[in-house]
A and B are shown apart, each in its own frame.
Chain A
Amino acid sequence: MHFIEVEHLNKSFTVRKKREKGHFLREKTVIHALQDVSFSIDKGELVGYIGPNGAGKSTSVKILSGILTPDSGCANVGGFTPWKDRKNHVQHIGVVFGQRMQLWWDVPILDSYQLLRDIYKVERNAFEKRLEELADALDLTSLLHTPLRLMSLGQRMRAELCGSLLHSPKLLFLDEPTIGLDAVSKLKLREFLQKENKEKGTTILLTTHDMEDIAALCSRVMVLGHGKKLYDGHLPELLARYDTQRTINVRYDADPDFSALPDSCSLQKDGDNYIITYAPETIPTAEMLALLQKAGSMQEMTAQSQNIDHLIARMYKEMDL
């Protein structure tokens, strides 16, 4: 028995569009947000959930967290069906939306936390202990008496995260938690999530467009596109499929002679720099380097692996997303 089991989930929305002519009649379009999505997640896993905008990520998170009811399919999260047993289910989950604050805006965050304690019926001693622990890990101790509205985005995000973990949920949904954060805040947040996952065994489902978050945190990724699950497995394996090209930057003393280069590689000139892109499958790297050395006397050379965002963009393109 897995911790989260999702089978054949379907969800569609009816969108009414205004016709160009006429004011009352509207055209109905059905959008299939999720089509036959199934997966399972074990306790303590940290899973990345990626896909382009409109792929159905948020819809699945909303269904799994109990906000929406699917058209068909079943799900079991820690023994509960989210949409049928909402109150019992949400007692054990935490949700953080990067673009929406759930704490109260004008009061010190400590007041918000105390209200959350009453909402989740957390026992007083357990609450104090947990708050101390979280405030310490998230660097919030000195901010507890500051209202949310006076905080920076990074501080707010940490405060939100603290609020969503006060009742020690077994499962944490994160929807773009690092959006808009600076590098330092991002790294801190990642470090915290890793620790929370390892030490408390909290299962985390992370939705994001930030591939670095995924690469740094997640052992497993699921790719969603047009409401369908397209990939489920390790990130390196996924990347390897699309990571078929290498780029070399070279600079020469004098104008080089590239006539020996095969047609399969592309050549770009950027000032004094030449950017050569090739597929190691057709020309092995050793051969390529030999060819470049023959072209002239080399001044400088750097080799780059492809940027992860480019890879994902290529993957989306090939999957026709």
Chain B
Amino acid sequence: MNTVKLYLHSMKMLLKSQLQYPWSFCLQTIAQIVMEGGEMMAVLLILNRFQALNQWTGGDLLFFFGIMSITFYLTECFGRGITGNFAALIRSGNLDTFFLRPRGIMTQVLCHAIDPRRIGCIAVGAAALALGCRESGVIWTVPKIFLFTEAVFFGMLLILGLFLIEAVFAVHSVKSIELVNAVTYGGRSACQYPIDIYPGPLRVLFGTLAPFALVLHVPATVILDKPLMGMDGAIAFLCPMAGLMFFIIMYFVFQKAMKYYRSTGS
């Protein structure tokens, strides 16, 4: 409970410090809306040209885009401490400072940054989602709302876990940003479309190693009332757990990396 309180207090303070530069804040938020709006336009243009992609209608595609944007940018907004530049945290010596305080390192990493400008991207995602729901005629029921929330939440954990890979590499002074970006930002770009439009290797990548398909696509399919490759819809409630598992594994790898950091020096 105390950790949550600390996180909220940190958020409040970080927001205050971002708002020290109101103009910069506004302009950057607008820039983000334009950027993410552009991505959404791309989906709309595809829809204009093709009526459907495999079994997916235009509304479905917007839904996929929306759930991915919301998940990804909520993570970047609230988990900026992890999704930001971890290598810089080491170089600047700020990581050392975290060791000097009586709180967990992961807690402090999470508490040290937020990116409220992402609110623009989240809004675009929400708009796409609403539009998609209308087009596809999604009828929201309590289990569907629960499934959606679950997918977004565990999706956030998955994304945090993926960014932790970069942090772990950074501790071992390996530059990995391009490699890890392939599954983080690359994953976002690829998985804003349903996974079955991609060839085998990519399906394997996003189905197992970076399981966006399990965490986001399976629930999305069920919410859109589409067949789940012959499987029972109830399984959709289990699949997002993959995100939780991924995060837990990366959490322990991260703790191990912190031990390594303390024994090798800086």
Contacts and interface: CB of A to CB of B under 8 A. Distances in A.
A90 interface: yes
A189 to B, nearest CB: 20
B9 A90 contact: no
Contacts of A112: 13
Interface in B127-148: none
Contacts of A87: 102-104
B51 interface: no
Given A62-B96, A147-B20, A120 B6 contact: no
B99 A86 contact: yes
Interface string B100-139: 1111100000000000000000000000000000000000
B102 A111 contact: no
A67 interface: yes
Interface residues of B, number: 26
Interface in B71-119: 93, 96-97, 99-104
A90 B97 CA distance: 11
A90 B100 contact: yes
Contacts of A115: 9-10, 13
B54 interface: no
Contacts of B265: 11, 13, 33, 59, 62, 68
Interface stretch (A99-107, A226-234, A244-252, A275-283): A99-107
A119 interface: yes
A149 B102 CA distance: 26
Interface residues of A, number: 35
DSSP class of A's interface residues: helix, strand, loop or mixed? mixed
B100 A95 contact: yes
Given A13-B264, A68-B262, A111 B13 contact: yes
Contacts of B99: 65-67, 86, 90
Contacts of A65: 99-100
25 contacts: A11-B265, A59-B265, A66-B99, A68-B262, A68-B263, A69-B259, A87-B102, A87-B104, A88-B102, A90-B102, A95-B100, A97-B93, A102-B97, A104-B17, A106-B17, A106-B21, A107-B13, A111-B16, A118-B5, A118-B6, A118-B9, A119-B6, A119-B102, A119-B103, A120-B102
Given A62-B96, A90-B101, A107-B17, 19 more contacts: A13-B265, A33-B265, A65-B100, A67-B262, A68-B262, A68-B263, A86-B99, A88-B102, A90-B100, A95-B100, A97-B93, A102-B97, A107-B16, A112-B13, A115-B13, A118-B5, A118-B9, A120-B102, A121-B2
Interface of B: 2, 5-6, 9-10, 13, 16-18, 20-21, 93, 96-97, 99-104, 259, 262-266
